C-alpha cells in the first residue's frame, strides 16, 4: 500500500503564511500526495506553485460551520474553480440538518453539483459526525450517496475530537460503494492511519503528512 495515495495535507489554519504554503506545496509534490487543501485566498498562488504536478488542489467552502446561504456557497465554489481548485470541500448546513430540513440539504447539493460537474471538479461533503445521531448519519449517507458526491468527509477537524472507528464503519456500510470517505485529524500516527484505512477511509486529511510518509517508508 502506498500511503501517499491516501493523504491530503491540511493547510487550513486561519494564520497560514505564504512561506508555509510554499513549503507545504513543495513537500506535497515531493511525496506525491493525493491532495493539499488550502484556504480559499491561497488557491490562486497554490495553483501556480503546483503547476503540472500530479497532485489535486483542494479548498474549503463555507468552512467551518456550513450555515452560509446556498447562493453564498455557490459564489465560493465559482471563485475557487476560477482560481484553479480541483476539489471543493464543502461543509453542509448543519442548522438545516439539526432541524430535519432534508429538503433544504437536497436543494443545496443539487444546486452546487451541476456547477462542479460542468467543470469536472470533485466535491467532498463535510459533516460533523460527532454532533450527529445514527439516524442523521444514515440519512446523510442516503442523500449524498444518491446525489453522487465524490467523498463524504466526516468532520472539519477543528474540534480536535477523533472520529470513532465505529462511525467510519457505519458510514461505509450505508454509503454507496463509489463514494469515498475522508477522515480528518490534526495529526495522525501510522497506527491511527492504518486503523482508519482498515475501517473504510479512502482519504486521510492531516497536518503531518511528512511524518506519515516517513513512517510507512520505513515499514
d(CA 3, CA 24): 17
**Mean pLDDT taken over the chain:** 96
Type and span of the H or E element at 35: strand 35-38
What is the rounded distance in angstroms from the CA atom of residue 170 to the CA atom of residue 40? 31
- Going by C-alpha positions, the residue among 69, 17, 10 that lies closest to residue 42 is 17
pLDDT in tens, 111-153: 999 999 999 999 999 999 999 999 999 999 999 999 999 999 9
pLDDT on residue 215: 84
Q: Which domains, and CATH codes, for the chain?
A: 3-217 (3.20.20.70)
The rounded percent of the chain whose pLDDT value lies above 70 is 100
CA within 13 Å, CB half, 119: 19
Cis-peptide into 24, omega within 30 deg = no
Cα–Cα nearest to 87, from 132, 55, 110 = 55
Q: What is the pTM of this model?
A: 0.95
Q: Is the pLDDT of residue 2 over 70?
A: yes
Q: What is the pLDDT of residues 151-197, one digit of tens each?
A: 999 999 888 788 988 999 999 999 999 999 999 988 999 999 999 99
Across 151-210, where does the E strand assignment appear? 151-153, 180-184, 203-206
Contact at 8 Å (CB) between 119 and 94? Answer: no
Q: Residue 219: pLDDT band by 50, 70, 90 thresholds?
A: low
**Alpha carbon distances (Å) from 130 to 127, 138, 214:** 9, 13, 30
Q: What is the average per-residue pLDDT within 67-92?
A: 98
CA–CA distances in Å: residue 50 to residues 20, 31, 150: 14, 13, 22
Amino acid at each position: 500500500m502506498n500511503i501517499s495515495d491516501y493523504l491530503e495535507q491540511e493547510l487550513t489554519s486561519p494564520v497560514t503564511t505564504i512561506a508555509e504554503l510554499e513549503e507545504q506545496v513543495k513537500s506535497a509534490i515531493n511525496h506525491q500526495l493525493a491532495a493539499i487543501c488550502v484556504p480559499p485566498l491561497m488557491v490562486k498562488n497554490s495553483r501556480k506553485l503546483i503547476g503540472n504536478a500530479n497532485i489535486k488542489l483542494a479548498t474549503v467552502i463555507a468552512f467551518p460551520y456550513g450555515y452560509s446561504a446556498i447562493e453564498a456557497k455557490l459564489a465560493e465554489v465559482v471563485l475557487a474553480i476560477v482560481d484553479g481548485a480541483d476539489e471543493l470541500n464543502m461543509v453542509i448546513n448543519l442548522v438545516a440538518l439539526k432541524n430535519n430540513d432534508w429538503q433544504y440539504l437536497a436543494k443545496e447539493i443539487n444546486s452546487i453539483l451541476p456547477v462542479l460537474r460542468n467543470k469536472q471538479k470533485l466535491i467532498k461533503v463535510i459533516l460533523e459526525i460527532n454532533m450527529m445521531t445514527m439516524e442523521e448519519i444514515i440519512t446523510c449517507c442516503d442523500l449524498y450517496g444518491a446525489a453522487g458526491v465524490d467523498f463524504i468527509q466526516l468532520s472539519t477537524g477543528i474540534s480536535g475530537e477523533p472520529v470513532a472507528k465505529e462511525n467510519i464503519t457505519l458510514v461505509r456500510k450505508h454509503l454507496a460503494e463509489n463514494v469515498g470517505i475522508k477522515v480528518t485529524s490534526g495529526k495522525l500516527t501510522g497506527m491511527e492511519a492504518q486503523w482508519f484505512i482498515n475501517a473504510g477511509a479512502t482519504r486521510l486529511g492531516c497536518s503531518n503528512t511528512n511524518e506519515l510518509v516517513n513512517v510507512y517508508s520505513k515499514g
